[in-house]
A and B are shown apart, each in its own frame.
Chain A
Amino acid sequence: MSNKLSNSVPTDREVVLGILNNSEDALNRLYVGYFPMVLQFILNNNGDEDDAKDVYQEAIIVLYNKIKSGDFELSSKLKTYIYSVCRRIWLKKLSQQSKKTNNLSDFEDVVAVEVDFEQHEEKEIQFEKMGSALVNLGEPCKTIIEDFYIHNLSMQDICEKFGYTNTDNVKTQKYKCLQRLKKLFFQS
């Protein structure tokens, strides 16, 4: 019972405030709260559980970015918004797989999310590019770059982690890696 209570869907306000405060708990509850809705939608429209997970996570990212960008206004219920974004994303995926998209079974109301979706697509392209560039970069460059730029480790930490003799060597290594990564990123 207590488990159920903690899993209960948070209010829209709680979610927005939680995301603005980087609260992992709020994100968790949001995630758990609305996943069944999206799962139902995807499963009943020629998708499987993995599709549901991918679509749902993309939708949460869209919502997250929208809230973080600061101009978020609750013009509809979060539930409706998430559902609409998922629906839009799934439509795109269906058409990419050249499956028929004309008669989706809907379970919720739908609001217009076209603008947010287009923004998301651009970001998604950047994300994919960066991801593939990092993969192509190879180790140990990938980890060094990630540690330094994403996990915000200091030169000293990285130096110790990789067993470099001094930080200058790390700096040189990082520079080389970064140059290669830039090349990979901007070329693709």
Chain B
Amino acid sequence: MKKDIELDAIIEDYLQGKLTAAEASAFEELRVNDPSIDQKVLTHKLFLESLKEYGKVLSLKEQMDRAHSQLDVTALSQKLGPHPSVIVNMWRKNRSAVAVAASFLLLTIFSIYSIQHNTKQNGTYEVMRREITNIKNNQNKLVRTLNSTPRTIKGPVGAAKFGGTGFALTANGYLCTNFHVVRDADSVYVQNNKAESFKAKVVYRDQQYDIAILKIIDNSFIPLSNLPYKLKKNNIGMGENVYTLGYPKDDAVLGEGYISSKTGHGGDTTQYQVSIPINPGNSGGPLLDNYGNIIGVITAKENQVEGATFAIKSKYILEALNAIPQDSLGKKPAFAKKNPLQGLNRTKQIDKIENYVYMIKVYN
């Protein structure tokens, strides 16, 4: 018994490294020679380790219990525990699922929206391209087919093929119209508001700006008195009220609107975009501002856009006019210096202008 206690103490000291070097080596020799002692040492070592481990965990738990006692667990569990309400519980439990569903929904909405948006843009883009590649197809040349309205009038026999509008540039019978009105013309007649027809010939063509200048060559034509309107050389601002006279039918028709853009089709800077009701037959009609200045020539409208009419800026009329030899234009100046229409009301203005706006009838 005594011996066992001694041995145990020695083993303990050995394991804790308390033996001197000589004692330790002596003990190790003993271990090697006596397997039962070796066994005892190993067992004791394992046991001590378990005991130490136990102690460590125990003290750790004590520490944690101390930390735990600082916490107000009841309040925390009220805050964090399952909510008595079922709905809140469901929300808490399925928060991530709800979040995923919501983002999915959002994503779907966005993609649908953007797809729609895209298609719309694609559509416009295609339209634009088509218009750019063959602009002529897409713009309604406002040429009226006159087949349906044969009338017996003084002048040529038979019905005109196309009709348009023109207006006087000079008192001696120079008229301005669109190039596309007279493009395929064999012969051209013009008709005034008194239903008098005169033969005319095309003296100037400008395909680029879509302007043509006609000259009345009929013997029965009596030179006009001074032109009532002025050709405005400057550009006009957006929003300016404008009106036009034209012949979409056999009598002159007034159209009223405003400048909606300073550029025409596809950003064409030679044209205005005008918001004005226009029909086939209005092509070549004068576009006038409130003061009776001619600011452009109605030329076309866009097919797929509502209320987008295009008018060639008056500057290009002037350019066309300059191409005609000055002496042919007559002695009187082409346009009055002072605008006689200024200050008159719309009805009076139209009354005067009406005599200088012609229906162009084209035969081919």
B81 x A127 contact (CB < 8 A):
no
- Using known A-B contacts A28-B70, A57-B64, A182-B47, determine if residue A123 contacts B53 with beta carbons closer than 8 Å: yes
Please tell me which stretch of A35-43, A84-92, A94-102, A157-165 contacts chain B, meaning at least 4 of its Cβ atoms lie within 8 angstroms of it: A35-43
Tell me, yes or no, whether A166 is within 8 Å of chain B by CB.
no
Q: Mark B65-100, 1 if CB is under 8 A from A, else 0.
A: 011101101101101111000000000110010000
A27 x B63 contact (CB < 8 A):
yes
B58 x A150 contact (CB < 8 A):
yes
B81 / chain A contacts, CB cutoff of 8 Å: 39-40, 43-44
A39 x B63 contact (CB < 8 A):
no
Tell me, yes or no, whether B61 is within 8 Å of chain A by CB.
yes
Least CB distance, A104 to chain B, in whole angstroms = 10
A151 / chain B contacts, CB cutoff of 8 Å: 55
B48 / chain A contacts, CB cutoff of 8 Å: 149
User: Roughly how many angstroms separate A27 CA and B60 CA in the complex, as a whole number?
Assistant: 9
Instruction: Give residues of chain B (6-57) contacting chain A, Cβ–Cβ below 8 Å.
Output: 8-9, 43, 47-48, 50-55, 57
User: Roughly how many angstroms separate A150 CA and B73 CA in the complex, as a whole number?
Assistant: 31
B60 x A43 contact (CB < 8 A):
no
Least CB distance, A170 to chain B, in whole angstroms = 11
B57 x A61 contact (CB < 8 A):
yes
A49 x B63 contact (CB < 8 A):
no
Instruction: Give residues of chain A (98-118) contacting chain B, Cβ–Cβ below 8 Å.
Output: 105-106
State how many residues of chain B have any CB contact under 8 Å with chain A: 36
Tell me, yes or no, whether A72 is within 8 Å of chain B by CB.
no
Q: Mark A51-87, 1 if CB is under 8 A from B, else 0.
A: 0010001001100100000000000000000000000
Give the residue of A28, A106, A123 whose beta carbon is less than 8 angstroms from that of B67: A28
Least CB distance, B206 to chain A, in whole angstroms = 75
- Using known A-B contacts A105-B93, A149-B55, determine if residue A64 contacts B60 with beta carbons closer than 8 Å: yes
A60 x B64 contact (CB < 8 A):
yes
Instruction: Give residues of chain A (167-184) contacting chain B, Cβ–Cβ below 8 Å.
Output: 171-172, 175, 178, 182
State how many residues of chain A have any CB contact under 8 Å with chain B: 38
Nearest B residue (CB) for A152: B55
- Using known A-B contacts A28-B67, A31-B64, A182-B47, determine if residue A146 contacts B55 with beta carbons closer than 8 Å: yes
User: Roughly how many angstroms separate A123 CA and B43 CA in the complex, as a whole number?
Assistant: 17
User: Roughly how many angstroms separate A134 CA and B51 CA in the complex, as a whole number?
Assistant: 10
A171 / chain B contacts, CB cutoff of 8 Å: 5, 9
B54 x A44 contact (CB < 8 A):
no
Least CB distance, A47 to chain B, in whole angstroms = 10
Give the residue of B5, B57, B74, B92 whose beta carbon is less than 8 angstroms from that of A105: B92
Tell me, yes or no, whether A20 is within 8 Å of chain B by CB.
no
Give the residue of A24, A106, A146, A150 whose beta carbon is less than 8 angstroms from that of B63: A24
Tell me, yes or no, whether B4 is within 8 Å of chain A by CB.
yes
A123 / chain B contacts, CB cutoff of 8 Å: 53, 57
Q: Mark A11-26, 1 if CB is under 8 A from B, else 0.
A: 0000000000000100
Least CB distance, A43 to chain B, in whole angstroms = 4
B54 x A27 contact (CB < 8 A):
no
B52 x A149 contact (CB < 8 A):
yes
Residue among B4, B66, B68 with max Cβ neighbours from chain A (10 Å): B68
Least CB distance, A172 to chain B, in whole angstroms = 6
A127 x B80 contact (CB < 8 A):
no
Tell me, yes or no, whether A32 is within 8 Å of chain B by CB.
yes
Give the residue of B55, B71, B74, B77 whose beta carbon is less than 8 angstroms from that of A150: B55
B66 / chain A contacts, CB cutoff of 8 Å: 28
B8 x A27 contact (CB < 8 A):
no
Nearest B residue (CB) for A149: B51
Least CB distance, B123 to chain A, in whole angstroms = 46
User: Roughly how many angstroms separate A123 CA and B56 CA in the complex, as a whole number?
Assistant: 12
Least CB distance, B3 to chain A, in whole angstroms = 11
A31 / chain B contacts, CB cutoff of 8 Å: 64, 67-68
Least CB distance, B110 to chain A, in whole angstroms = 27
Chain A to chain B: the 3 pairs with minimum beta-carbon distance, closest first: A150-B55, A40-B80, A31-B67
A-B contact pairs, 21 of them (CB 8 A): A27-B60, A28-B70, A31-B64, A39-B76, A39-B81, A43-B80, A44-B81, A44-B92, A57-B68, A61-B57, A129-B50, A134-B54, A149-B51, A149-B55, A150-B51, A150-B58, A171-B9, A172-B5, A175-B8, A182-B43, A186-B47
